[in-house]
């Protein structure tokens, strides 16, 4: 009878090392149906984490000239990151194993990545600057004009560890016979092929006390705002082949002592891929050298990514009620454009293992194109978003 949890968690809690855990349980084993907890349930997500060094500079200057209050400012922030996330998945995991297959020594679908090194140096920075004029037009009317510029850097890898497809997924060649080193652009210093240089953000606001009503104030404004680039995207593109290839093995022996076990098959696929990539190999040529070779997965980005931008506006009426109370009615709205989303199903498919779970032998291809890769996740711009809010 299987009961409780075995493997890494128990060993880790006793203060032992990861290597000690791997001697007891060399990979994570997850059972189908959720009847039992995984054996070695945290193994495939370690090592991971980041060491971050951040430094920043902020300076503001203001001066009043007559009815104008002028303000200027500059800010700079940089992050130097040692990213250990290439280690995620470097210890294999076999998922969806039924109890019957477990007692027969057969695993479900096995996943393992093969990073070229356990960590990568990533750097990114943000530079912002602005100018603002608060103009007292009349005693009861003030106008504010502002212009801000934001530059969010394209994250870089100091060892040129990024890789991606040669273009937008739906625009690249669907030929499965193209060499891998032509389909995949590797050794890239920047995570994105094309990114916004400077985001210009004008803003306007006003405060008005109408018709001499000292207890009534009307405020409003409109402005453009930018969001910083999601740096976690860099994790996905530094986890791409050839510097880090991820392979899925359907079926196979669980025990590392058995010839042709899942971990061995994954390692053979990686070795064949690396040799093929270096020598212009194709899917067919690699499969000829390693029967059962499974293509690697890849994350990619659209050819043009723009910085997320948001339009925000509000109109407020405030009425003082005596000295201790006030009534406020405020309308606030926003509208987002160029927001970034991920599409994990761009090259989705149903292999023989998937077909078995569906009880069919007919392929279920959900993409119009076949590629010499197993799965693809693409980062792209999304549709606009936003909604208004009224408060009182």
Q: Specify the pLDDT at position 145.
A: 97
In a domain, 363, yes or no: yes
- Inform me whether the pLDDT recorded for 234 exceeds 90: no
pLDDT tier for residue 371 given thresholds of 50, 70 and 90: low
The answer as to whether 124 is a domain residue is yes
| C-alpha distances in Å from residue 359, one per residue of 136, 224, 345, 353, 363 | 75, 53, 22, 10, 11
**372 within domain boundaries:** yes
Cα-based angle 325, 326, 329 (whole degrees, multiple of 5): 155
At residue 48, the pLDDT reads 86
Whether 1 has a pLDDT exceeding 70, the answer reads: no
CATH number at 177 reads 2.40.170.20
Report the run of H or E that residue 110 belongs to, with start and end: strand 109-115
Q: How far apart are CA 208 and CA 223, in angstroms?
A: 18
Is 57 within a domain? yes
Distances (CA, A) of 147 to 204, 318, 336: 9, 27, 19
Q: Are 143 and 340 in contact (CB under 8 A)?
A: no
Return the pLDDT at 368: 37
Query: What backbone torsions phi and psi does residue 300 show, to the nearest 5 degrees?
Result: -140, 175
Residue 129 confidence (pLDDT): 96
293: confidence class by pLDDT, cuts 50, 70, 90: confident
Asked if residue 218 is part of any domain, the answer here is yes
pLDDT tens across 305-356, in order? 888 899 999 999 999 988 889 999 999 999 998 888 777 777 766 666 666 6
User: Which of 293, 259, 265 minimizes the C-alpha distance to 277?
Assistant: 293
Tokens for 27?
């990979």
What average pLDDT does the segment 269-276 reach? 93
Mean pLDDT of 277-294: 89
Contact status, residue 223 vs residue 202, Cβ threshold 8 Å: yes
pLDDT of res. 212: 80
Is 110 contained in some domain? no
pLDDT value, residue 11: 41
Q: What is the pLDDT of residue 376?
A: 53
pLDDT band at 23 (very low <50, low <70, confident <90, very high): confident
Specify the pTM: 0.77
Residues 163, 190 contacting (CB under 8 angstroms): no
Q: Which whole number is the average pLDDT over 222-234?
A: 84
User: What integer is the mean pLDDT of 191-204?
Assistant: 92
> How does pLDDT run across 69-99, given as a tens digit for each residue?
999 999 999 999 999 988 888 999 988 888 8
Q: Which residues share a beta bridge with 290?
A: none
Q: Does residue 288 register a pLDDT over 50?
A: yes
In 3-state terms, what secondary structure has residue 118? coil
Length of the chain: 392
> Is residue 18's pLDDT more than 80?
no
Q: Is the pLDDT of residue 378 over 90?
A: no
102-143 pLDDT, tens digit each: 888 898 889 999 999 989 999 999 999 999 999 999 999 999
Q: Is the pLDDT of residue 382 over 90?
A: no
What's the number of domains the chain is made of? 1
Does 123 map to a domain?
yes
CA distance 384 to 132: 28
Task: Examine the pLDDT at 366 and tell me if it is beyond 50.
Answer: no
Instruction: Give yes or no for a contact between 122 and 83, defined as CB atoms under 8 angstroms apart.
Output: yes
- Under the banding of pLDDT at 50, 70 and 90, the label for residue 372 is low
Domain that holds residue 334: 47-83+119-241+296-391
Summary mean pLDDT of the chain:
83
pLDDT exceeds cutoff 50 at 61: yes
For 133-185, the DSSP string reads EEEEEETTEEEEEEEEEEEE---EETT--EEEESS-GGGS---TTS-HHHHEE
Q: Are 115 and 244 in contact (CB under 8 A)?
A: yes
As a whole number, mean pLDDT of residues 261-270 equals: 92
Percent of the chain with pLDDT over 90: 43
Residue 358 has pLDDT above 60, yes or no: yes
Residue 167's pLDDT band (boundaries 50, 70, 90)?
confident
């Amino acid at each position: 009878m299987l009961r409780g949890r075995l493997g890494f968690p128990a060993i880790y809690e006793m203060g032992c090392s990861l290597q000690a855990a791997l001697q007891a349980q060399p990979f994570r084993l997850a059972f189908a149906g959720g009847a039992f907890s995984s054996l070695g349930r945290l193994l495939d997500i370690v090592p991971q984490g980041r060491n971050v060094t951040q430094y920043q500079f902020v300076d503001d200057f203001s001066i009043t000239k007559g009815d104008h209050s002028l303000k200027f400012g500059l800010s700079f922030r940089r992050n130097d990151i040692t990213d250990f996330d290439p280690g995620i998945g470097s210890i294999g995991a076999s998922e969806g194993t039924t109890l019957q297959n477990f007692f027969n020594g057969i695993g479900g679908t096995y996943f393992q990545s093969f990073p070229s090194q356990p960590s990568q140096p990533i750097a990114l920075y943000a530079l912002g600057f602005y100018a603002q004029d608060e103009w007292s037009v009349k005693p009861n009317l003030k106008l504010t004009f502002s212009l801000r510029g934001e530059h969010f850097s394209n994250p870089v890898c100091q060892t040129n560890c990024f890789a991606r497809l040669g273009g937008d997924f739906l625009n690249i060649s669907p030929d499965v016979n193209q060499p891998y080193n032509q389909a995949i652009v590797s050794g890239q210093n920047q995570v994105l092929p094309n990114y916004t240089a400077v985001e210009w953000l004008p803003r306007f606001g006003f405060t008005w006390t109408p018709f001499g009503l000292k207890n009534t104030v009307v405020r409003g404004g409109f402005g453009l705002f930018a969001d910083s680039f999601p740096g976690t995207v860099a994790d996905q593109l530094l986890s791409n082949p050839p510097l880090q290839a991820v392979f899925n093995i359907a079926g196979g022996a669980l025990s590392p002592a058995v010839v042709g076990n899942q971990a061995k098959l994954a390692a053979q696929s990686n070795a064949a891929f690396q040799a093929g990539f270096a020598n212009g190999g194709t899917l067919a040529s690699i499969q000829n050298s390693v029967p059962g070779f499974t293509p690697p997965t890849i994350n990619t980005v659209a050819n043009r990514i723009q910085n997320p931008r948001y339009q925000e506006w509000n109109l407020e009426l405030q009425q003082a009620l005596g000295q201790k109370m006030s009534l406020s009615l405020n309308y606030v709205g926003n509208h987002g454009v160029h927001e970034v989303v991920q599409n994990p199903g761009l090259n989705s498919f149903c292999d023989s293992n998937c077909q078995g779970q569906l009880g069919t032998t007919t392929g279920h291809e959900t993409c119009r194109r076949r590629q010499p890769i197993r799965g693809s996740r693409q980062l792209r711009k999304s549709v606009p978003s936003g909604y208004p809010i009224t408060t009182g």
